[in-house]
Amino acid sequence: MNKLKTTTVFTTTLLMGLVLSRFAISKLTGWEISVKAFIEMAKPLGIDPTFFRISTGILISTVFIGYLITAFFTLFRNKIELPFKLNYYNLAFFTNTLGLLTMVGALFSEFLLRVEPKWLLVYIATAVVIFSAINIIIIKNNSTLYNKLTTFKK
């Protein structure tokens, strides 16, 4: 991966991870604003708002941790040797896909479950979707090249 693509993937995954950490924390620790939002959004679904909030917090925490691990391996994947085999491209592709799908779900929730969407949350979720899609394209293109090079060596 060239330097610009590596910098793009590193910067966007780190940024998305840091932004999502705030949302994971607010859901898992039960900040008042988060509790009120999930009471509102759970009503049309007829589910327990606490379960909805905590399960969403766990999902966003998973995405957040995945983004941070991907950012770490984007920066250091050629500099460290791991005791186990980790395919960077599969990890990065999976993490960005999970982040993209999670934020698409967040957008649906904002527009379909809230009385009035919170536009800042819509903008953040849209940015994560766009950056994840860009990263997926970069990773997929480089993964194809990587697979061709490693297959050629055999």
Domain count, the chain: 1
**Mean pLDDT in residue range 80-94:** 76
Range of the domain at 59: 3-147
For residue 38, being part of any structural domain is answered with yes
How far apart are the C-alpha atoms of 130 and 140, rounded to whole Å? 15
What's the chain's average pLDDT?
Answer: 89
What pLDDT does 148 receive? 52
Q: Classify residue 154: in a domain, yes or no.
A: no
Q: Do the domain assignments include residue 26? A: yes
* Over residues 11-19, mean pLDDT: 95
Residue 152 lies in a domain: no
Cα maximum dimension of the chain: 58
98-151 pLDDT tens trace: 999 999 999 999 999 999 999 999 999 999 999 999 999 999 888 765 555 444
Q: CB neighbours of 129 closer than 8 A, spacing ≥ 6?
A: 100, 103, 104, 107
- Tell me which of 78 and 38 has the higher pLDDT: 38
Question: Does residue 23 lie in a domain region?
Answer: yes
Any domain includes 153 = no
For residue 133 the two structure tokens come to 């899609």
